[in-house]
Amino acid sequence: MTFFHEEHFSDRSYEEIIDVISSKGYVSLRIDEIGHMRGLFFDNADKRQYILRHDVDMSPTGALKLGKIEHKKGVTSNFFFQLNSATYQMLLFKVCRHMQRVTVNGPPSRFACGQRALQRR
């Protein structure tokens, strides 16, 4: 049984994935929220939560695009950028702006750079 109409990954198929997960009663969590909810998955089996994690291996621009879709859908997520990526330079202004916009454009998201986590509060 499939819930999806799109055959290939696209903006529309990503929206569809989020819609299906939401329609099943799941709520997204940031990684930093887990510590405050210890035992959540065992003590509250009736609650449906998930963690949406993006490893930004290739494209900060693509990550920003996903973040905008998630904002539109009211979903929180977690972005992990590489300090030593072969495909982007993290210290370039454009990449720094994308990382900033991922956290500013919507529900509080979390993003991490290597070992040090940065969070908008």
What is the enclosing helix (H) or strand (E) of 100?
helix 93-104
- The pLDDT of residue 69 is 93
**pLDDT the model gives residue 117:** 42
User: Quick one: average pLDDT of 92-111?
Assistant: 69
Residue 41 is predicted with a pLDDT of 52
pTM of the model: 0.73
Query: Can you list the positions of beta strands (E) in the chain?
Result: 27-29, 49-51, 53-56, 78-81, 110-113, 116-119
Contact of 28 with 51, CB cutoff 8 Å: yes
Look up residue 25 and give its two tokens: 């009663």
Is residue 107 pLDDT above 50, yes or no? no
